[in-house]
């Protein structure tokens, strides 16, 4: 009998750790994405692309609010890097937008590709832990992943691949995103 109690406790403890990690990093990621689009909009607000960026920003803000609510519900603290990601996201968005609309969309493609892969990895991890325990989170992440991939495709449609030094820009941005994910999962 004691073994069942201990095994159940360990499973619940591990499950809470999994939720902490996923909700913390996804909250951080959605904050970063909303701030990237805010930075892009700040620079490109008078360009035809502004309405498209505004739409993506609004979706990211819904994602952010959802993870803020989940963080409260599951008592997950945000990453200690929140102030850094807030500023870094805005600067990345504004910085790439200063290079032009195509560069801003190259940033979008780079970021959303990493996030799509990241969400797919989380979905696999949650299913392995027991789909029945994570229905709400699986549904949320699946929906948000689809919207992030839509943003990726919007970036491609708006000539992201035509950006000068696209390959280098994509590599650098994705390296930064993966680093931010690693840090936010742990701290």
Query: pLDDT (tens digit, 0 to 9) for every residue of the chain, 187 residues total?
Result: 444 443 444 477 888 899 999 999 999 999 999 999 999 999 999 988 999 999 999 999 999 999 999 999 999 999 999 999 999 999 999 999 999 999 999 999 999 999 999 999 999 999 989 888 899 999 999 999 999 999 999 999 999 999 999 999 999 999 999 999 999 999 9
| Closest to 34 (Cα-Cα) out of 113, 97, 87 | 87
**If DSSP codes are grouped into helix, strand and coil, which group holds residue 136?**
helix
Residue of 36, 59, 34, 32 lying closest to 144 (CA atoms): 59
What is the tens place of the pLDDT at every residue in 35-44?
Answer: 999 999 999 9
Q: How far apart are the first and last CA of the chain?
A: 36
According to the model, what pLDDT value does residue 11 have? 78
CA-nearest of 87, 88, 73, 81 to 23 is 73
* Cα torsion through 109, 115, 118, 122, rounded to 10: -140
Token pair belonging to 39 = 């930075």
Closest by CA position to 177, among listed 60, 78, 22, 29: 29
Asked if 81 and 180 count as a contact pair (C-beta separation under 8 A), the reply is: yes
Burial class (CB in 10 A: 0-12, 13-18, 19+), 177: buried
- What is the pTM for the complete model shown? 0.89
Domain spans, the chain: 2-186
- CATH for 2-186 (1.10.10, 1.10.3470, 1.20.1260, 2.70.220): 1.20.1260
């Amino acid at each position: 009998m004691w073994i069942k109690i201990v095994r159940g406790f360990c499973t619940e403890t591990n499950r809470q750790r999994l939720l902490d990690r996923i909700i913390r990093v996804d909250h951080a990621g959605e904050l970063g994405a909303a701030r990237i689009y805010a930075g892009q909009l700040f620079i490109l607000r008078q360009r035809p692309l502004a309405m498209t960026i505004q739409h993506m920003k609004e979706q990211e803000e819904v994602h952010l609010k959802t993870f803020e609510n989940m963080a409260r519900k599951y008592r997950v603290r945000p990453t200690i890097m929140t102030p850094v990601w807030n500023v870094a996201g805005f600067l990345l968005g504004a910085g790439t937008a200063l290079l032009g609309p195509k560069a801003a969309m190259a940033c979008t493609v780079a970021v959303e590709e990493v996030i799509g892969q990241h969400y797919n990895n989380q979905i696999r991890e949650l299913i392995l832990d027991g789909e029945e325990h994570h229905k709400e989170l699986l549904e949320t992440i699946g929906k948000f992943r689809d919207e992030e991939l839509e943003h990726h495709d919007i970036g491609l449609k708006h000539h992201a691949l035509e950006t000068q030094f696209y390959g280098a820009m994509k590599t650098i941005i994705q390296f930064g995103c993966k680093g931010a994910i690693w840090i936010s999962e742990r701290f």
